[in-house]
Amino acid sequence: MGETSVLIRGAGDIASGIAHRLFRCGFSVYMTEIPAPTSIRRKVAFSEAVYDGEAEVEGVKAVLARSVEDAINLSRNGLIPVLVDPDLKCLEGLKPVVLVDSILAKKNLGTRKSMAPVVIGVGPGFTAGEDCHAVVESLRGHDLGRVIMKGRAAENTGIPGEVMNYTLERVIYAPAAGRIRLVRDIGSPVNEGELIAMIGNVEVRTKIGGVLRGIIRNGFEVWKGMKIGDVDPRGIVEHCYTISDKARAIAGGVLEAALYLLNHRMFS
């Protein structure tokens, strides 16, 4: 892809799956995040670079960038730069050819079609042809990863995707507000009702057995009702450290949309 650059808003596990695929396909990939990311699937999220300085997912490394100039240098050295820049102040300096909004906030937080030659929205909240050029479906099911050139993705149902007949039971929400102290970490096999964390004096326990696929960082200040963890009932520990099927499907859709729109611009 030469010097074709992509700027991805968000660096959680879905955004990281997108970044990984585009990077492997030859795009120069840049990412932006908020100052304190809340990624649950931390082992496969480039957002961890905000805390640790760098993060690696399936052989691809992201590094925290301190400026646009720093980000450009990191990219030239075969890395994915992550900028703390939720307001996209870096947009003018980077001038990406493709902008992907994969914050998955269920609404558009300010992405506009005029921000780049190709703008792609992931999930609900975007309308292809209005605030972006294409939308990629993020809802699990038959249309997951489908590229929408006109219209919107399916609305958020509020119910997590089904895995082995479990939906809401898979997700762990904070039963109280406060600083979390982890008892078990990502990759730990767990039983139903197992203690995995404490928030002050309040216990956080699982609803089902399996493997703890995701949990928020130790010491994070959480609010009551916040999503803080995820149990995979399939119990395959290796899945905790690789890009998910959902992220790969969405990444495929973003790649298709980017190539289609770039080729359309080139030959139109």
Answer yes or no: do 53 and 133 share one domain. yes
What are the backbone dihedrals phi and psi of residue 110, each rounded to the nearest 5 degrees, phi first? Answer: 125, 5
C-alpha 100/C-alpha 121 separation (Å) is: 6
Answer yes or no: do 63 and 132 share one domain. yes
Within a domain: 240: no
Percent of the chain with pLDDT over 90: 91
Answer yes or no: do 129 and 181 share one domain. no
Answer yes or no: do 257 and 224 share one domain. no
Q: Domain range holding 220?
A: 168-233
Answer yes or no: do 151 and 31 share one domain. yes
Terminal-residue alpha carbon distance, the chain: 19
What is residue 156's predicted lDDT score, i.e. its pLDDT? 82
Answer yes or no: do 151 and 209 share one domain. no
Number of Cβ within a 10 Å radius of residue 107: 11
Rg (the chain; Cα; Å): 18
Please check the confidence at residue 16 and state whether its pLDDT lies above 50: yes
Here the CATH number for the domain that contains residue 174 is 2.40.50.100
pLDDT band at 2 (very low <50, low <70, confident <90, very high): very low
Answer yes or no: do 149 and 182 share one domain. no
Number of folded domains that form the chain: 2
Please check the confidence at residue 268 and state whether its pLDDT lies above 60: no
Q: Which two tokens stand for residue 127?
A: 């309308």
pLDDT tens profile 135-152: 999 999 999 999 999 999
Answer yes or no: do 21 and 107 share one domain. yes
Could you list the beta-strand ranges (E) of the chain: 5-9, 28-33, 54-57, 60-65, 80-84, 98-101, 118-122, 127-128, 134-136, 147-148, 151-152, 171-173, 178-182, 189-190, 195-199, 202-205, 210-215, 221-222, 227-232
What is residue 28's predicted lDDT score, i.e. its pLDDT? 97
Cα distances (Å, whole numbers) of residue 155 to 105, 119, 128, 141: 12, 20, 14, 13
- Among residues 137, 91, 84, 83, the alpha carbon closest in space to that of 110 is found at 91
What is residue 208's predicted lDDT score, i.e. its pLDDT? 97
pLDDT band at 163 (very low <50, low <70, confident <90, very high): confident
| Whole-prediction pTM | 0.95
C-alpha 168/C-alpha 162 separation (Å) is: 8
Answer yes or no: do 91 and 212 share one domain. no
What is residue 150's predicted lDDT score, i.e. its pLDDT? 96
Percent of the chain with pLDDT over 70: 98
What is residue 267's predicted lDDT score, i.e. its pLDDT? 56
Answer yes or no: do 33 and 93 share one domain. yes
Average pLDDT (2-17) is: 92
pLDDT tens profile 179-237: 999 999 999 999 999 999 999 999 999 999 999 999 999 999 999 999 999 999 999 99
Within a domain: 73: yes
pLDDT tens profile 85-136: 999 999 999 999 999 999 999 999 999 999 999 999 999 999 999 999 999 9
pLDDT tens profile 35-91: 999 999 999 999 999 999 999 999 999 999 999 999 999 999 999 999 999 999 999
Within a domain: 20: yes
Answer yes or no: do 196 and 152 share one domain. no
Average pLDDT, the chain: 95
